Homo-oligomer: A and B are copies of this chain.
Amino acid sequence: MEKLKKYVSVKDEDQFYHQGAVELLVFNFLLILTILTIWLFKNHRFRFLHETGGAMLYGLVMGLIIRYVTKASDVESGTVYECEKLKSGPSILLINITNQVYEYQYKREISHHNVNGHQGNAMLQKMTFDPSIFFNILLPPIIFHAGYSLKKRHFFRNLGSILTYAFLGTAISCVVIGLIMYGFVKAMVHTGQLKQWEFHFTDCLFFGSLMSATDPVTVLAIFHELHVDTDLYTLLFGESVLNDAVAIVLTYSISIYSPKENPNAFDAAAFFQSVGNFLGIFAGSFAMGSSYAVVTALISFMHLTKFTKLCEFPMLETGLFFLLSWSAFLSAEAAGLTGIVAVLFCGVTQAHYTYNNLSPDSKMRTKQLFEFMNFLAENVIFCYMGLALFTFQNHIFNPLFICGAFVAVFVARACNIYPLSFLLNLGRKQKIPRNFQHMMMFSGLRGAIAFALAIRDTDSQPKQMMFTTALLIVFFTVWVFGGGTTPMLTWLQIRVGVDPDEDLKAEAASQSASNLDKNTTKAESAWLFRIWYGFDHKYLKPILTHTGPPLTTTLPEWCNPIARLLTSPTAYGDQLKDGDTDYIINNDELTENYESSAHTPVPAQGRTGSTQATSKEDIQEGDLGLGGYKLQLQPQMNSSA
């Protein structure tokens, strides 16, 4: 008898394994469908439904099927049991049931009104997977890829504007959404739909911060395909990538804002603590991410120079690169910082330094690997969003709240883009034309980050209401705005089919002509970046990569012994090769475009005093901050600016 029972339990366990397989199979099936659809769409040049929209649609249908076709199997799962002896919730719970001990793992705390939601269907429960999977597994490759594929030159040229949109814009968006939602919540309390104590102003701000994260995926994929104007692309890309980082840290800072007494009153101390938290976490994550990248650069550099044969093992190189980048994420998380921010800046730094040290084979491998991971993770997330609408068990659909959120999101986007563009245009030499502003307004899609932030905490009723609303806004913006991108581009007469390389070359030519002019106009804002660029070019790049001038020429003479130690023997030979890796990551390209002729060698004596205008690179990249480069003449731009 005991024997029999044992075998039954073995079979149960096997069934358990197979259950896991079924869940994964559902996702695989959805992804395969999505890929086949994308393939079909690309073949027919059909752009009204992007792959992300398609993935969501398939997820939705699958969710519907799982919800209404599969049956409730586990009758007991809605019941709450009492255990008088337990004083707190241990992470592993051992329970004696009819003389057999079972091990249970702690999952989460549930508020009382949610208990009824936990009814029956084991399949539904399995499909709603742990939100930590989003943060630890799915998001890092997407964000890293964004950082790694950043078009650096264009990015840095628009850095001032991008930072303004990302930091100031996100803050504006967060506060505006928070205020509007607070108004709606007040109205809901007035009509009796909500109890006063359930929804504080901080909750509204929390919602505002998570809804401020715009999604870089859908619109930018279309932009990339159509080769939309590079500046518009860079502005939107930079904004949405950095803005994700800002929104994540902001959400975290707001969630730990805990005023001592009345949660509705303003507590200055707690507020400033939150601001301090925000700055600390952001700076800490930035430092963590970049330092991992610097370590990777150093290791790959050491191996490249000291053991020259080691670039024979591109897989080891790729493995190391991958693991160290992921470690940046995990270390930041483990240290209580924000891994997403760390991995973003890790990606940027890796592209800037480490990429130059890799063997050609590893360059391609890392590029393809991250591209592939990004592709899979993105589609899994969008499929899952579709699924979640029907499989998540604690939705709260509140029409007033949802309407309010839609209004708030659009008003906040307008308050972000138009006033900031106006301010930026005061300082920018090349104005941001009005049609660009409209396009940026239109491109404020919400996607993976907003969803991930919302699903992270769904314990209380307000949080569930927020989650449901966020999901609906994601659906709406991805389908309607994502699908409308191509018509909108035509309507706004934004130029497409631009070759960024040619664009840049033409600009560089006109730029060097007006070199003197620029140096006098916006020197104060570009000043800091120029110093950093000089430093980077003269010291960091030679130490971390085998590009740039050898250290022996840039360091003062008394440092010569150290310089010689740090300089790789190849650096002298490679002096001609400019290591700047713009455009290294293009979805289509496989060959690397080095601008190998761009860097003219300068004799050592010519490099001592001045930081400016020593090479073409310095000329081009030294010019940063709030604008100040020559406008490419385009009829529609001029007419609207």
Contact = CB atoms under 8 A, between A and B. Distances in A.
Contacts of A615: none
A101 B109 contact: yes
9 contacts: A24-B326, A36-B320, A38-B313, A74-B90, A74-B92, A80-B95, A80-B96, A93-B93, A101-B111
A350 to B, nearest CB: 15
B74 A372 contact: no
Contacts of A189: none
A521 interface: no
A358 to B, nearest CB: 14
A58 to B, nearest CB: 13
Interface in A313-331: 313, 315-316, 318-320, 322-324, 326-327, 329-331
Interface string A17-43: 110111011001101100110110011
A439 to B, nearest CB: 26
B118 A94 contact: yes
A21 B330 contact: yes
Given A97-B87, A100-B109, A102-B109, A333 B136 contact: no
A303 interface: yes
A263 interface: yes
A329 B24 CA distance: 10
Nearest to A262: B3
Given A105-B104, A106-B102, A85 B94 contact: no
Interface of A: 3-4, 6-7, 9-11, 13-14, 16-18, 20-22, 24-25, 28-29, 31-32, 35-36, 38-39, 42-43, 74, 76-83, 85-98, 100-112, 114-115, 118, 122, 125, 132, 135-136, 255-256, 258, 263, 299, 303, 307, 309-310, 312-313, 315-316, 318-320, 322-324, 326-327, 329-331, 333-334, 336, 339, 361, 365, 368-369, 371-372, 375-376, 457, 459-460, 587-588, 590
A255 B22 CA distance: 23
Contact of A372 (B11, B94, B319, B336): B319
B29 A327 contact: yes
Residue in A21, A77, A111, A255 whose Cβ sees the most chain B Cβ within 10 Å:
A21
Contact of A108 (B85, B103, B365, B376): B103
B96 A82 contact: yes
Contacts of A88: 76, 97-98
Contact of A28 (B115, B327, B361): B327
Contacts of A4: 258
Contact of A94 (B80, B94, B256, B365): B80
Contact of A91 (B74, B80, B108, B256): B74
A3 B376 CA distance: 39
Nearest to A101: B110
A9 B115 CA distance: 18
Given A18-B333, A77-B90, A132-B17, A83 B112 contact: no
Contacts of A122: 91-92
Given A32-B320, A35-B320, 18 more contacts: A14-B336, A18-B336, A25-B327, A36-B320, A38-B313, A39-B303, A42-B313, A43-B310, A74-B92, A77-B92, A80-B95, A88-B98, A89-B95, A101-B112, A104-B104, A104-B105, A365-B368, A369-B372
A98 B170 CA distance: 41
A89 B97 contact: yes
A118 B307 CA distance: 47
B81 A93 contact: yes
B255 A10 contact: yes
A367 to B, nearest CB: 11
A543 B210 CA distance: 52
A194 B6 CA distance: 19
A60 B328 CA distance: 24
A233 B393 CA distance: 55
A96 B83 contact: yes
A96 to B, nearest CB: 5
A328 to B, nearest CB: 10
Given A31-B319, A320-B35, A327-B25, A263 B77 contact: no
Which of A28, A255, A310 is the most central at the interface, judged by chain B CB atoms within 10 Å of its CB? A28
The 7 closest A-B pairs by CB, nearest first: A21-B333, A104-B104, A25-B330, A89-B102, A76-B90, A103-B107, A21-B334
Nearest to A299: B36
Contacts of A3: 258, 263
A136 to B, nearest CB: 6
Contacts of A14: 336
Nearest to A73: B91
A324 B31 CA distance: 10
A20 B105 contact: no
B81 A323 contact: no
Contacts of A76: 86-88, 90
A36 B100 CA distance: 47
A134 to B, nearest CB: 11
Given A326-B28, A327-B25, A372-B369, A94 B79 contact: yes
